[in-house]
Chains A and B, each alone.
Chain A
Amino acid sequence: MIAIVDYDAGNIRSVLNALRRVGASDYVLTASREMLRAASHVILPGVGDASVAMQSLRDKGLAGFIPTLKQPVLGICVGAQLMCESSEEGGARCMGIFPTKVRRFAPVPGLKIPHMGWNSLRLSSRAESRDLSSPLLSGLADGDYVYFVHSYYPEVCTQTIATSNHGIDFSAALASDNFFACQFHPEKSGAAGEQILKNFLAL
């Protein structure tokens, strides 16, 4: 059973449609701690304002609970940002699963904000000579395109498993133990996105 966190801040339909496309039919939309604890996988979607979404998680009593989960957890877009330390959007204090901050793209001439559209992933970082391989991105190649819609980005940190660039390099995906996050939308990222969802569900 896959549990999708129900906290009034999700693009639930897109995620549900994508799960069905990759053959996952056993899922539930819930804010119940018991059901989240019992799920095989947990997905934290999110759209809109990070500070509003974070408050909604607190109101549901889930902000301190989600970091204690032991099964694979995947944050998507704003859901991914909530798993970082903080966000400049509304000055939100977030869950602190990933040791990084979420910042707004700086206005640069010629750079459009929101960062919207298909951008390429960098899966390896020669500059830092670190191995960024993660089972979440298994089967993807350096340079594969995924679909982004966001104005705020998680900074690159030790848990970054893929970067992308929009005026600045940022974390496109993060992983730490059982926690995973995508700043892009795997549910809208064509075959690459479906591969990522399948990888996550295979964890």
Chain B
Amino acid sequence: MVAKRIIPCLDVKDGRTVKGVHFVDLRDMGDAVELGARYAAEGADELVYLDISASAEGRKTFCDLVGRVAEKLNIPFTVGGGISTLDDAARLLDAGADKISVNTAAIKNPGLIDAIAGKYGSQFVVIAIDARVVDGRWMCTTHGGRNATDLELFSWAREAADRGAGELLFTSMDHDGTRDGYPCETYAALAEVLPIPIIASGGAGCIQHIADVLTKGRADAALAASIFHSGEIPIPTLKQELRKQNIPVRI
């Protein structure tokens, strides 16, 4: 049986991680390569590196970083942030990324999913969707939740899967940062209609929230940032607890 995956997410700006981390003995806490390797050694199943640089120079630095991450990590990793063309995806693949995630650019240009999946395979393309409830419906947003769209979550997720996305990374903007848990019913409803794995993101405040989204929410993986970076929930503790609840995890 495929194990449920635990995925720390690292935000990177101009080649450096920007959120505080708990590994006090790291030589350089901003070093995204060293931090990623530490998470891998702790038992992370996969990592996500999200480029939040705004400049062209920052993007170039990020691509160099991806190459160094690929040299160091012995687990798969996904990169995202600012990927808007087939060339962007090709550069990151060449640098050694196992998967790329597309978000805003895919909403603006859905054909981007077909182009990348057609050339490199569905396993390489993660569709990231940020959505929030508006008048009782889940509506997609762009630019990290700043801009509203008229796309409905379920129809866009289905379309993205049909176009060749191999995984869905869904973040509820109503839950992100709240630490109140994930919207499990929505994840379960997505799992019902989508043939691709689903990564839950945003809202975890404790171990039980993660256990719930992997069981009641039927998610295949849970991604989180702050609870790992702060050291509140060490990955080995999390995985032991999930295993106690009979959730299949790699230990």
Contacts and interface: CB of A to CB of B under 8 A. Distances in A.
Contacts of A165: 1
Interface in B4-24: 5
A189 interface: yes
Nearest to A193: B74
Given A14-B96, A145-B250, A191-B74, A112 B195 contact: yes
Interface stretch (A2-10, A55-63, A116-124, A171-179): A116-124
Given A20-B71, A114-B122, A13 B96 contact: yes
A147 interface: yes
A152 B197 CA distance: 17
Nearest to B167: A116
A89 interface: no
Contacts of B197: 112, 116-117
A191 to B, nearest CB: 7
B74 A189 contact: yes
| Consensus secondary structure, chain B interface | loop
B98 interface: yes
Interface in A18-53: 18, 20-21, 47-48
A117 B5 contact: yes
A13 B66 CA distance: 12
A112 B1 CA distance: 11
Chain A interface bracket (under 10, 10 to 19, 20 to 34, 35 or more): 20 to 34
Nearest to B194: A112
Interface residues of B, number: 26
B1 A120 contact: yes
Given A145-B3, A194-B74, A117 B123 contact: no
B220 A117 contact: yes
A103 interface: no
A166 interface: yes
Interface in A121-179: 145, 147-149, 165-166
Contacts of A18: 74
A119 B72 CA distance: 22
Contact of B94 (A13, A116, A187, A193): A13
B248 to A, nearest CB: 8
B233 interface: no
Interface in B189-248: 195-197, 220-221
Interface of B: 1-3, 5, 40, 45, 70-72, 74-76, 94, 96, 98, 121-123, 166-167, 195-197, 220-221, 250
19 contacts: A13-B96, A21-B74, A112-B2, A112-B197, A115-B2, A116-B123, A116-B166, A117-B197, A117-B220, A118-B5, A147-B75, A149-B123, A187-B74, A188-B75, A188-B76, A188-B98, A189-B75, A190-B40, A194-B74
Interface of A: 13-14, 17-18, 20-21, 47-48, 112-120, 145, 147-149, 165-166, 187-191, 193-194
